Amino acid sequence: MDIKMQRVIVILAVLLFPKPLSALKCYECIDLGGSCIETQRDCPASHQCGASVTRTYVAGTKVDAKVKSCMPSAGCDVSGSMDLGISRTQISTKCCSTALCKVQYPTALPGSSSSPNGKRCFTCKGNNCSNILSCSGDADRCISSSMAHGGNKVIMKGCVSKSLCVGPKSGCCEGDLCNSATSTAVGLLLLLAAPVVSVALFN
């Protein structure tokens, strides 16, 4: 696997499962296509023990990852996709809510339809976020979100599934080109941090 793609997945795991504050204890494991040794960690409040399966396509490269650890309750038992123009991600998650429970990985990822759904959203190429992306499949909402990486603010815009638009800070909106606003949010879509980090690494 390309070293940059390995970094993408590791950063995904760090962002997906934040540092512990208190409460539930869960198993933790990051599988980048081989196997992993489960360790234990304490989770923040309002988290459950989670397992996610993610597939990201960047520049013609497919990267699959399986991660177990603490997961925000809002990110539990969801399945969807996101298209940022330069990358596409599919994700499924499952959770259990007791200490050291043995949550199983989701058995399937959401479909990856390339059929246009009629929606259009702004997308970013480097610092230029004025490009227009035609959405496809179930990614019928627009997203505008950001994160810090390497001391820089990385903005991501594109199409996303409704199922991943959880909470008032999801950064999602409905309607053509509704993500043109300069303000961005950080919410559940940190679950999809792999393509965000790829923007910083590959541009």
Asked whether residue 203 carries a pLDDT value surpassing 90, the answer given is no
Per-residue pLDDT of 9-62, as tens digits, reads 444 454 444 444 446 899 998 887 777 888 998 988 888 999 988 888 887 888
Positive or negative torsion for Cα 7, 12, 15, 20: negative
20 against 114, higher pLDDT: 114
Helix (H, G, I), strand (E, B) or coil at 58: strand
CA distance linking residue 27 with residue 19, whole number of Å: 14
CB 68 within 8 A of CB 54: no
CA distance linking residue 103 with residue 81, whole number of Å: 22
Determine which of 17-21, 101-105, 160-164 has the lowest per-residue pLDDT on average: 17-21
124 against 170, higher pLDDT: 124
Name the pLDDT band for 121 (thresholds 50, 70, 90): very high
Which token pair is 154? Answer: 């990385």
112 against 9, higher pLDDT: 112
Asked whether residue 124 carries a pLDDT value surpassing 70, the answer given is yes
CA distance linking residue 119 with residue 36, whole number of Å: 40
What is the residue extent of each domain of the chain? 3-96, 116-188
CB 45 within 8 A of CB 20: no
Q: Which residues lie closer than 8 Å to 20 by C-beta, 6 or more apart?
A: 41, 42, 43, 44, 70
61 against 6, higher pLDDT: 61
Q: Which fold has domain 3-96?
A: CD59 (2.10.60)
CA distance linking residue 176 with residue 140, whole number of Å: 9
Per-residue pLDDT of 68-94, as tens digits, reads 988 888 888 888 888 988 888 888 889
The CATH number of 116-188 is: 2.10.60.10
pTM of the model: 0.73
- pLDDT of the residue at 134: 95
Q: How far, in Å, are 39, 142, 190 from residue 74 at the CA level?
A: 23, 19, 12
Average pLDDT, the chain: 77
Asked whether residue 1 carries a pLDDT value surpassing 70, the answer given is no
**Residue 189, number of CB atoms within 10 A of its CB:** 28
- pLDDT of the residue at 20: 42
